[in-house]
Amino acid sequence: MQDTLQEIGPDSKPLTIFEEWMASAKATPGIREPTAVNVATVASDGEVHSRVVLCKKWSEEGFVFYSNYRSRKGLDLAAHAQTALLFYFDPLFRQIKISGKAEKTSRQDSENYWRSRPRESQLSQYISNQSAPVDSRQELEDQWHAAEQKFTGRDIPCPEHWGGYLIRPRTIEFWIGRPNRLHDTFEFEKDQAGWTFRRLSP
């Protein structure tokens, strides 16, 4: 699909472009989870891991997702804060690549988001020992129902090992696919003075 948004150039603001593209993705049939983003991390032994999470909010500061801090991604980010995000909107033939450093959001932010989640999701995360081996599906179901009974009539507390990550971007790259493979790629890089811009060869 040809890009119909405003021309990307040196005066463009990366967050504005991101928000326009996200709005287009949300309005496009066939994109089930527009906020789904691939997160790549590096383990302490140098092994690279990749998975999809949901980006829950974004601002000039960066991009936020929530997870179990004891998960594989959590352990990776504790060892190497450098990470990369990739959004791909297939029907639009566009992708957004972001590289930067991850840091935990404030405890208050994590708890605020936790309270906004459906109760069933809270129960799942409360009992989850994410990335650890589990013997069976039945074991998970039993733990979930036990927690459901335990917290009947009560709020489910946000676990200390669960919360948000803020990815502060160093580079943001916008890619627009073209039928003849002569794609458009625009990169913004952040320094102390702000964002610099350049077009990249496809």
Give the pair of three-digit tokens for residue 36. 């789904």
From 32, 137, 154, 181, the catalytic residue: 181
Is 181 assigned a catalytic role?
yes
Q: Tokens 């309270």 sit at which residue?
A: 115
Answer whether 32's CB lies under 8 Å from 45's CB: no
Please provide the DSSP assignment of 51-101 as one string.
EEEE--EE-SS-EEEEEETTSHHHHHHHH--EEEEEEEEGGGTEEEEEEEE
Integer Cα distance of 22 and 104 in angstroms: 24
**CB environment 10-36: b (16+ within 10 A), e (fewer):** eebebbebbeebbebbeeeeebeebbe
Answer whether 167's CB lies under 8 Å from 96's CB: no
Answer whether 131's CB lies under 8 Å from 43's CB: no
Q: Which residues are catalytic?
A: 181
